[in-house]
Structure 1
Amino acid sequence: MKATGIVRRIDDLGRVVVPKEIRRTLRIREGDPLEIFVDREKEVILKKYSPFQELTRFSQEYTDSLNEALKQPILVYDRDVIVASSGFKKKEYTNKPIPRFIETLMLNRESDTQTTQTSVELYQDQPEMRGFYHISPIVANGDAVGAILAFREDESLGDEAILAIDIAANFLGKQME
């Protein structure tokens, strides 16, 4: 564990403020859930909670199935990183931070389809790739918790692929409720 040198007092309601620098670094936003752990040394540990933590394996298997059926690469994002990848090199994509445009689409609960070949950043600070894509937000209990994206370099995605991605986003959202 890494010490920050920051000390905070607990107020009369039992609350403690997580410093802005730490919230910014860890991308913790107002309303984000945090898990609370106590270890053997009686240290309290706060961990940013992602509903995908419990569904990581399931998300990967679902992504692999979509990739096989659609014959195009698929990525699943939580609110911070890529949690599942199929059709891309997993080690190059998994746990990479999401790009701003996907974060914005997700938070606005908007889908986006590119029917003309365009440059796109699939994870933050990645060299842009040229291709076509469809992205659909994953919503659970009214909150945007992630997104799913299908990508194709050579030709536009068909209506069936777009529908499959929308269904996958809806299904993954229901699994998290």
Structure 2
Amino acid sequence: MKATGIIRRIDDLGRIVIPKEIRKTMHIRESNPLEIFTEKDGSIILKKYSPIGEMGSNAQQCAESIASQLPHTVCICDQDSVIAAAGPNAKKLLGKLLHEKSEEALSERKNLLMHRESKNFFPFISDFPEVFQYVCLATIISEGDAVGFVCILSIDEELTEQELMVARVGAGFLGKQLEN
């Protein structure tokens, strides 16, 4: 655990303000759920809650199932990062943060098919050495909330509406799994 040097008081309703700098660094936005943990030494730990991250092996199995039928990289992402991946470049993508425009697309519940030369293109993953020329994103919706993406990525082979439909089916399946 790293000390920040910031001290806050609890108000009369039991609330505490998380400083803006920390919220920005940790990608915490208004209405993001936080999970609360306690330690025996009296520490309280706040952690961003990721319903997709809680799926663990199910998300990985979904990515592997889709990738087994396509020659592309398939990722399952929560609101901030890649939590499961299969296909080419999969191991390099796990844990990578999403580009801020990916987060915007999620909040807008977009399903996108993008080519690097198109007007709506954005890199999808922050700080990734290889640029995917083609990106397909389908938003995972669970209980009315946009909670993540199913992504199909390609470096050199154009993605079509068919891949977008596959991603949408995967996103629909994961959304239903989260509701059960």
The answer, yes or no, to whether TM exceeds 0.5 is yes
Tell me which residue corresponds to 2:77. 77
Displacement after TM superposition at 1:54 (Å)? 1.4
Contact preservation (8 Å) 1:134, 1:150: yes
2:44 corresponds in structure 1 to 44
Per-residue deviation, 1:120: 5.4
- Which residue of the partner structure matches residue 94 of structure 2? 94
Identity %, equivalent residues: 38
Quick check: 1:116–1:132 contact (8 Å CA) kept in 2?
yes
Separation in 1 of the partners of 2:44 and 2:138? 36
Q: Is the 8 A contact 1:82 1:94 kept in 2?
A: yes
Gaps of 5+ in 2: none
Residues of 2 paired with 1:116 and 1:43: CA distance?
Answer: 46
The reply to whether residue 143 of structure 1 matches residue 151 of structure 2 is no
Shift of 1:130: 4.8
The aligned runs of 1:1-177 (5 Å cut-off) are 1-114=1-114, 121-127=123-129, 129-177=131-179
Compared CA separation, residues 117 and 85, structure 1 to 2 (3 A): farther
Higher mean C-alpha deviation, range 109-118 or range 134-143: 109-118
- What is the SS of the residue equivalent to 2:46? strand
| Contact 1:110-1:137 within 8 A present in 2 as well | yes
Q: Give the number of equivalent residue pairs.
A: 177
Structure 1 residue matching 2:68: 3-state secondary structure: helix
- Amino acid aligned to 1:139: I
Separation of aligned partners in 2, 1:117 and 1:154: 13
Residue type matched to 1:126 in 2?
F
Output the CA distance in 2 between the equivalents of 1:46 and 1:116: 38
CA separation of 1:122 and 1:129: change in aligned 2, threshold 3 A = same
TM-superposed CA distance for 1:128, in Å, is: 5.3
Contact map agreement 1:120 1:129 (CA 8 A) in 2: no
SS at match of 1:21: helix
More strand as a share of residues: 1
Q: Which sits farther off after the overlay, 116-125 or 72-81?
A: 116-125
Change (3 A) 1:42 1:150: same
Task: Work out whether residues 99 and 124 of structure 1, in 8 Å CA contact, stay in contact via their aligned partners in 2.
Answer: yes
* Offset from partner CA, 1:109-135 (integer Å, 9 cap, x none): 111113676675241022452532321
Alpha-carbon contact 1:121-1:128 (below 8 Å) kept: no
Distance 1:90 1:116 in 2: 20
With normalisation by structure 1, the TM-score equals 0.90
* Distance of 1:169 and 1:100 partners within structure 2: 20
Deviation at 1:78, TM superposition (A): 0.8
Moved more, 1-10 or 83-92: 83-92
Show structure 1 runs of 5+ residues with no match: none
User: Offset of 1:165 from its aligned partner?
Assistant: 0.7
The offset of 1:39, in angstroms, is: 0.8
